[in-house]
Structure 1
């Protein structure tokens, strides 16, 4: 790699991981950046998972140390996320990505509008406890988001954040921590599957991973310190940015 390419990847990886550790959606930055240096789509997806693995791991550890992860719930959801991500990667070649983008576009727009209208959403922690019903619902959603992350990816962290806020009524910081550990799980499963299929460029992926470690740590510390007042506007901005990107790709 040239020095210019290396600096470009480093900057893109840092920014993507910084944003992703706060509100998800880092893939809208990292995947186009990797493809811009000439990687084929499937190798770009696999290499992005290498960087995201280390970025997610760093932010997961930081959220865990700050007690922002609710493990009594998460322990049920992790296996379903892992299985969903593996199946998502295995089916990535047979899915109509254009049709998928249109469905995701509608969902993201609805989430953004709902979050803007519900001004108190996620500001305080109103979690009422676990029930059989919300554990089962969480497992279904964890599998679905894991599958999506393995197959496509961008916005999965934002969906997880929204699920923990809207369904379980956690505040933004705990929702971000819960979403981060599930995102790390799906990224790990996806990376293993992509690597076994020879779709990871380790030579360019390793410096990219270093930048995402630094970005993930910086973003997590920023989110824990600032809480809902910074996570919510970034979450809305990322949701709208995803929508704009998908509208541009479609038309």
Structure 2
């Protein structure tokens, strides 16, 4: 591989780690750049390889959040235990089945997210107090299965979906949603990594340098999110989701 290609991949990994640490969705950049720069590799190999930097960046971001933000460890324990096998199953299916049929559905879902988040100005600005512990646990189980499988099978935008799920279904504000989402995202990434490792789909000479770049971006992004708070995260969330929407729109209508 040419050095210039690896450098560009590392730059994309840094940007992905930075965005992922704040609101998720960084995988959109990383995966897109990888598919463009590595056209001769199977899609499963590209995605499997890029799960390593994704895990690295999420780990560093999670560590920053752990120092500053309270975590709901009861819910997180349940969600991480369930998200791991769900992502493993999703990645297993990816090695056998194309995921292109999901793109039109994702286009509709992302459009709804943009409209709802923009129109509802107080969305994710405060912690909701009217959601019972039993309801939170039930929602946590559903989120873990659905988003875990999605991350393994498709990937890009997982962080955004987790943030929205934590806000809409668990009653968290943007900052706490982003922090807790990182822990669940670690479990989904690890589930996928185990499958891709067993299948021999990881190219370590690409994954390791990208992992360092992604981790550095995740470290900076998490510190910025913690410092700026909910208002900043909401705006950043809208920008990332719109970018993701444009990407899936291009995939549906132009490819």
TM-score normalised by the shorter chain: which range applies?
A: over 0.9
List runs of 5+ in structure 2 lacking aligned partners: none
* Residue 131 of structure 1: how far off its partner (Å): 2.2
Distance 1:61 1:227 in 2: 17
Which stretches of structure 1, 4 residues or longer, exceed 6 Å deviation after superposition? none
**For 2:49 and 2:222, how far apart are their aligned partners in 1?**
22
CA distance in 2, matches of 1:58, 1:221: 10
Partner residue in 1 for 2:147: 145
Q: Equivalent residue for 1:29? A: 29
CA distance in 1, matches of 2:36, 2:102: 22
User: Is contact 1:127–1:170 with CA below 8 Å preserved after alignment?
Assistant: no
Matches of 1:242 and 1:68, distance apart in 2? 29
Q: Deviations over 1:59-117 (max 9, x none)?
A: 11111111242212212211111111011011113444222111111111111111111
SS at match of 2:241: helix
Deviates more, 1:91-100 or 1:234-243: 91-100
Shift, 1:130, TM fit: 4.4
TM-score by length of 2: 0.94
Please, which of 58, 61, 70 is the counterpart of residue 59 of structure 1?
Answer: 61
Are 2:121 and 1:106 aligned?
no
TM-score normalised per structure 1? 0.96
- Of 90, 93, 110, which aligns to 1:91? 93
Task: Name the SS of the counterpart of 2:94 in structure 1.
Answer: coil
| Rounded Cα–Cα distance in structure 2 between residues aligned with 1:160 and 1:127 | 19
Closer, same or farther in 2 for the Cα pair 1:65/1:4, shift >3 Å?
A: same
* Distance (whole Å) between structure 2 residues aligned to residue 127 and residue 85 of structure 1: 30
Are the equivalent residues in 1 in contact too, given 2:90–2:149 (CA < 8 A)?
yes
Kept after mapping to 2: 8 A contact 1:115/1:121: yes
Aligned residues, how many?
Answer: 251
- Structure 1 unaligned residues grouped into runs of 5+: none
2:221 aligns with 219
